[in-house]
Amino acid sequence: MTGTAQSAARSASVRDGARAPSPLDDLRLSFEAAARFHGGPSEFSIELAGKPVRLRFAGSDLAQSMTRAFNHLETELEPEVDLTISVWESAASGAPRPSLAPDPGHDEPRPDPTNPGPSYFHATADFQALFQPTPDLLSVLSRPDGGSAWFWIGDSTRLPHWDAATPFRHLLSWWLGAGGIQQVHAGAVGTPTGGVLLVGKGGSGKSTTCLSVLGHDHLRYAGDDYVAVSVEGEPWVHSLYSSGKIEPDNVVRLPHLRSIIANADRLDREKAVVFADDLVRGTAVAGFPLRAILIPRIVNRARTRAVPTSAASAVTALAPSTMLQLHPPQAEALERIRRIAAVVPAFVLELGPDTAGVPEVIRQLLEDLGSP
């Protein structure tokens, strides 16, 4: 159904005295149409930050590409969940375009591998929504309960590689934030008894440091770009994705990852994407207590070391990139970041040229910090 036809249907329902369908009605009807086309939805359940979440897919292509990063969080299907995300496209199924995704009336350029293009946020008492016209992608979370979400894309072939590696990032940020858990732009590695956040701008060595622990005997992986942190009670890191991304030029520093690069045929236009458990099963974990914040910094010294720094330095390293990637930026997010930095020590991780030795420096730091 075209946008004009949808508008006409709404006008007719108002003239006939019926309640005009809401934008959420549009989403439900469009998803149901796509699910019927594909013979019914498929479901995938995960436990995220200790809460059960159900993913419902209309079509196998999106299910295959958007569940891989959650494999380490998969659980048995639960009858009751805290969040259900419905996922579908229109190109294959002919499902109607949601009214919250206005048709530009012309072909949009393909998404640039390094730039998602503009984003348009809209919120009412019933929902919050983010529309990204370049990939033709819509994310919607219900309000005030926050128990239902929708992720629609016009054509799954336009799905940016970062949305396959870190699915539903905006939806999960809104949903977790409503529960007091902050999604942050950071990586995290550690052991069952405690781990560290790794924070810093692009080029600081954050991703290389996080991915250097893959295959380590003791350290485990909770994320590279995005994790969540709760500070009610014991500070805790919650994994969101098992994926990691690194500039192709830096793969030479992590040669043991070459065999698990998921997009090796597209490195001329995309970051290298890996999934932690493809190297050693069990490397990716759901989370651990937060013991410290590390700020990687590439320096001209022979060996890597951790040097204490201030909480203010941790906030400065963590807040700007996190806030810039939230849609919309949230004042409470900044306050949560300050609280995180106030309750755990911060260190500058001065990175030497020996990448292979970095995990052992982190393991030793965690041993020295011990339990709180």
Whether residue 6 has pLDDT greater than 50: no
What is the CB neighbour count within 10 angstroms for residue 10?
17
CA distance 287 to 227: 9
Average pLDDT over residues 303-308: 93
* CATH code reported for the domain at 182-369: 3.40.50.300
The CA angle 321-339-162, to the nearest 5 degrees, is 30
CA distance 328 to 174: 9
pLDDT confidence bin for 372, thresholds 50/70/90: low
What is residue 1's predicted lDDT score, i.e. its pLDDT? 37
Between 48 and 253, the more confident residue is 48
pLDDT confidence bin for 148, thresholds 50/70/90: very high
CB 199 within 8 A of CB 314: yes
CA distance 72 to 275: 10
Percent of the chain having pLDDT more than 70?
92
What is residue 330's predicted lDDT score, i.e. its pLDDT? 77
pTM for the model: 0.90
Average pLDDT over residues 37-45: 95
Whether residue 112 has pLDDT greater than 80: no
Whether residue 5 has pLDDT greater than 70: no
What is residue 356's predicted lDDT score, i.e. its pLDDT? 86
Average pLDDT over residues 301-326: 91
Identify the sign of the CA torsion 310, 312, 318, 320.
negative
Whether residue 18 has pLDDT greater than 60: no
What is residue 203's predicted lDDT score, i.e. its pLDDT? 74
Kindly report, as residue ranges, where domains of CATH 3.40.50.300 are found in the chain: 182-369
User: Which tokens go with 340?
Assistant: 């995180």
Closest CA to 35 of 65, 71, 1, 62: 62
List strand residue ranges (DSSP E) for the chain, in order. 42-48, 51-57, 83-89, 120-123, 127-132, 137-142, 148-153, 182-185, 187-191, 194-198, 220-223, 226-230, 236-239, 243-246, 272-275, 287-298, 305-309, 346-351
CA distance 294 to 317: 10
What is residue 205's predicted lDDT score, i.e. its pLDDT? 85
CA distance 335 to 268: 39
CB 263 within 8 A of CB 272: yes
Among 106-120, 289-303, 316-330, where is mean pLDDT lowest? 106-120
Between 176 and 330, the more confident residue is 176
Among 11-20, 79-88, 172-181, 311-320, where is mean pLDDT lowest? 11-20
Whether residue 130 has pLDDT greater than 90: yes
CA distance 274 to 245: 7
- DSSP secondary structure letters along 330-345: -HHHHHHHHHHHHHS-
What is residue 12's predicted lDDT score, i.e. its pLDDT? 38
Q: Give the single-character DSSP code of 110.
A: P
pLDDT confidence bin for 78, thresholds 50/70/90: confident
CA distance 127 to 169: 17
Closest CA to 36 of 100, 93, 114: 93
CB 235 within 8 A of CB 343: yes
Length of the chain: 372
Whether residue 2 has pLDDT greater than 50: no
